């Protein structure tokens, strides 16, 4: 059993101490990986330089290390010459493919330049100063950041002792709320809740608080293996309160192409469209997404490789005495028993970029699963950082992070 003890501290206590001598650490980086990095002037500069090095191992943003499907790259090549025209017909093609894949009508599909824009639009559509967002703590922070920007209350519901969303507690807090955010699998903890629990939450909320909307974010859906896990799409067909969000950024390896979509009843999508800027998709993104969604062999290959490398990485930590949360995603969440910012910084200075700290669980590290070759190199770095005393440096904030590290 994993306990949240000692981690329930103020999520804003974000000033951390890290502190590797920048020059020494960069020398080590060069020795470790043969990197060509610019000379640092300050510790943040050293961090940026190390992160920008061409051969840095990027396992900090839950990206797919294998790249897009070759079928997607071929599709891009086929349409690129027509990029002088607006995408028109390609939008219809992708909507048809998405609808067929999820067994819904095309009027239940809203395409988006990444699913993050759908999350943002929903927070704007459904929360306000009097309509709260209900979310897990910790969970993917984009909705709660959006709500805070709007001045909407955020009700943070701590996870269970197994680091899963506490769907009963979330349902209990939902009455009168504007939006309940269910991230399943949950980022950053990598855990899932079964469809039976999501269904029970939805049915309880629909009954007790029919104006509350429920967003089920299935960004990491395809990586989950847990028996009983399943999509909430049938519930979106049944209830106007339910919206499912999906992205092509993860198993499809298309984070740089920015494609996502929402599935909901047409009336519900109309509410979201009021706050959504339109699909924002290029011909190349649309064609690549269409090809990739049809490429089930590529998806299966990705799933299989992720599963094997995830087991390898989790086992390395477990063998070394660290607790790893049960992962159903392309990342793991490890109790490193020390400040995660210091760990992130020390790893980055050795050319390995892992996830940031996720308050209140600031002694847990989120590590995305790279290729086997990358993890063969990264694991010894993790172990050498963890074998050394925790290091100290000046405090820093989000401004020091590369955009992808806010994922």
* The token pair that represents 152 in the structure block: 């909407």
Q: Does 393 bind ligand PLP (CB under 6 A)?
A: no
> 324-337 burial string, b = 16+ CB within 10 Å, else e?
bbbbbbbbbbbbbe
Among 249, 302, 327, 362, binds ligand PLP (CB under 6 A): 249
Q: Which is nearer to ligand PLP, 369 or 379 (CB)?
A: 369
Task: Identify the sign of the CA torsion 395, 399, 405, 407.
Answer: positive
Q: Does 187 bind ligand PLP (CB under 6 A)?
A: yes
Q: Does 115 bind ligand PLP (CB under 6 A)?
A: yes
Q: Which is nearer to ligand PLP, 79 or 192 (CB)?
A: 192
Q: Does 135 bind ligand PLP (CB under 6 A)?
A: no
Q: Which is nearer to ligand PLP, 219 or 316 (CB)?
A: 219
Q: Does 260 bind ligand PLP (CB under 6 A)?
A: yes
Residue 138 host element (H or E): none
Instruction: Output the smallest distance, CB 334 to ligand PLP, in A.
Output: 17
Q: Does 121 bind ligand PLP (CB under 6 A)?
A: no
DSSP letter at 29 equals: H
Instruction: Output the smallest distance, CB 8 to ligand PLP, in A.
Output: 22
* The token pair that represents 8 in the structure block: 């329930």
Q: What is the 3-state secondary structure (H, E, C) of 230-275?
A: CCCHHHHHHCCCEEEEEECCCCCCCHHHCCEEEECCHHHHHHHHCC
Q: Does 140 bind ligand PLP (CB under 6 A)?
A: yes
CA angle 234, 236, 237 (to 5 degrees): 65
Of 49-57, 111-119, 162-170, 275-283, the window that binds ligand PLP (rule: CB under 6 A) is 111-119
Among 116, 136, 355, 370, binds ligand PLP (CB under 6 A): 116
* Unique residue bearing structure tokens 């002694």: 363
Between the alpha carbon of residue 78 and those of residues 69, 286, 289, 296, 298, the distances in Å are 14, 12, 13, 20, 19
Contact status, residue 395 vs residue 353, Cβ threshold 8 Å? no
Among 135, 247, 290, 393, binds ligand PLP (CB under 6 A): 247
Q: For 286-363, where are the E strands, in sequence order?
A: 323-324, 331-335, 352-354
Instruction: Output the smallest distance, CB 371 to ligand PLP, in A.
Output: 19
Residue 382 host element (H or E): helix 372-387
Site track for ligand PLP across 332-371, x = CB under 6 A: ----------------------------------------
Q: Which is nearer to ligand PLP, 186 or 209 (CB)?
A: 186
End-to-end CA distance of the chain: 27
Instruction: Output the smallest distance, CB 255 to ligand PLP, in A.
Output: 5
Q: Which is nearer to ligand PLP, 18 or 236 (CB)?
A: 236
Among 166, 217, 295, 400, binds ligand PLP (CB under 6 A): 217
Q: What is the 3-state secondary structure (H, E, C) of 151-210?
A: CCCEEEEECCCCCCCCHHHHHHHCCCCCEEEEECCCCCCCCCCCHHHHHHHHHHHHHHCC
Among 195, 219, 244, 349, binds ligand PLP (CB under 6 A): 219
Q: Which is nearer to ligand PLP, 152 or 189 (CB)?
A: 189
Residues of this chain that interact with ligand PLP (CB under 6 A) are: 62, 114-116, 140, 183, 187, 217, 219, 247, 249, 255, 260, 407
């Amino acid at each position: 059993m994993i306990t949240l003890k000692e981690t329930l501290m103020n999520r804003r206590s974000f000033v951390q101490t890290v502190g590797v001598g920048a020059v020494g650490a960069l020398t080590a980086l060069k020795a470790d990986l043969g990197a060509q990095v610019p000379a640092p002037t300050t510790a943040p500069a050293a961090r940026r330089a190390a992160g920008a090095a061409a051969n840095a191992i990027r396992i900090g943003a839950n990206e797919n290390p294998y790249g897009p499907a070759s079928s997607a790259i071929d599709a891009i090549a086929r349409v690129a010459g027509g990029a002088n025209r607006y995408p028109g017909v390609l939008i219809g093609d992708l909507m048809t493919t998405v609808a067929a894949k999820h067994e819904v009508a095309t009027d239940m599909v809203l395409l988006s330049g990444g699913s993050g824009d759908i999350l943002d639009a929903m927070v704007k559509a459904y929360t306000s100063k009097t309509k709260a967002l209900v979310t897990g703590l910790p969970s993917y922070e984009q909705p709660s950041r959006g709500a805070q920007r709007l001045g909407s209350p955020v009700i943070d519901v701590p996870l269970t002792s197994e680091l899963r969303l506490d769907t009963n507690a979330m349902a209990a807090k939902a009455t009168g709320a504007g939006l309940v955010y269910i991230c399943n699998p949950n980022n950053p903890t990598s855990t899932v809740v079964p469809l039976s629990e999501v269904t029970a939450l939805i049915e309880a909320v629909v009954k007790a608080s029919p104006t509350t909307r429920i967003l089920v974010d299935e960004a990491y859906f395809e990586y989950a293996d847990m028996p009983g896990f399943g999509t909430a799409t049938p519930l979106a067909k049944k209830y106007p309160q339910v919206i499912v969000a999906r992205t092509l950024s993860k198993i499809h390896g298309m984070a740089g192409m920015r494609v996502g979509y929402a599935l909901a009843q047409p009336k519900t999508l109309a509410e979201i469209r009021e706050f959504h800027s339109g699909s924002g998709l290029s011909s190349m993104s649309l064609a690549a997404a269409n090809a990739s969604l049809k490429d089930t062999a590529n998806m299966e290959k990705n799933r299989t490789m992720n599963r094997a490398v995830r087991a390898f990485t989790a086992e390395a930590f477990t063998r070394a005495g660290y607790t790893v949360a049960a992962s159903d995603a392309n990342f793991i969440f490890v109790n490193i028993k020390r400040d995660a910012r210091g760990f992130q910084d020390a790893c980055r200075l050795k050319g390995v970029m892992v996830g940031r700290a996720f308050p209140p669980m600031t002694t847990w590290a989120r590590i995305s699963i790279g290729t086997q070759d990358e993890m063969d190199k990264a694991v010894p770095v993790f172990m050498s950082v963890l074998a050394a005393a925790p290091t100290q440096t000046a405090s820093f904030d989000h401004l020091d992070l590369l955009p992808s590290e806010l994922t």
